[in-house]
Amino acid sequence: MKKLIRFIIAGLCLGLGGLRAEKPVNTTWTGVAIKGYDPVAYFTQARPVEGSDRFEFSWNGATWRFASAANRDLFAGAPDKYAPQFGGYCAWAVSRGYTAGIDPAAWKLVGDRLYLNYSLKVQKQWEDDVPGNIVKAQQNWPELLKK
């Protein structure tokens, strides 16, 4: 029933002009953050791990999925610590002033923060100047949320 309600709501949103890319969290059309991957696993297992609909948590207007109840509980206790920067949008794109989707395999932890990118190729561009790109993205992010 929960999935059916989400499907209907998503359909209504699409019918009313589509979902805006400037939502605070990058979600699928069903409202699932970062394509259903477990944000905590990047920290605890140092790799992308698909989450399960058995372990979900709602935060910041999105449904977050986790590989385990333990990861869900870690996130629930400190979502700002585990959630990817810039709402889970491509960090390189945000540094350039726009939003883009992500490939969960294109990730990096920098200073205990998770950054995701559109693809492994784009991630290499982002890695050419990680500190500079982070600064640019931090400057652009508030304006992208206003659009």
CA dihedral 60, 66, 70, 71 (to 10 degrees): -60
Domain regions of the chain by residue span: 20-146
Residue percentage of the chain with pLDDT more than 70: 84
27-55: per-residue pLDDT in tens? 999 999 999 999 999 999 999 999 999 99
Q: What is the average per-residue pLDDT within 140-144?
A: 94
Q: How high is the pLDDT of residue 146?
A: 87
- 10 vs 145, residue with greater confidence: 145
Does an H or E element contain 62, and which? strand 62-66
Angle at 74 between CA 27 and CA 32, to 5 degrees: 15
Instruction: Say how far apart CA 105 and CA 85 lie, in whole Å.
Output: 15
> Does residue 12 surpass a pLDDT of 90?
no
> Does residue 10 surpass a pLDDT of 50?
no
Q: Which residues are 114's β-sheet partners?
A: 109
Residue 69 DSSP SS3:
helix
Q: What is the pTM of this model?
A: 0.84
Q: How high is the pLDDT of residue 19?
A: 38
Residue 54 DSSP SS3:
strand
Q: How high is the pLDDT of residue 1?
A: 54
What does pLDDT average to over the chain?
Answer: 89
> Does residue 4 surpass a pLDDT of 90?
no
Instruction: Say how far apart CA 68 and CA 18 lie, in whole Å.
Output: 32
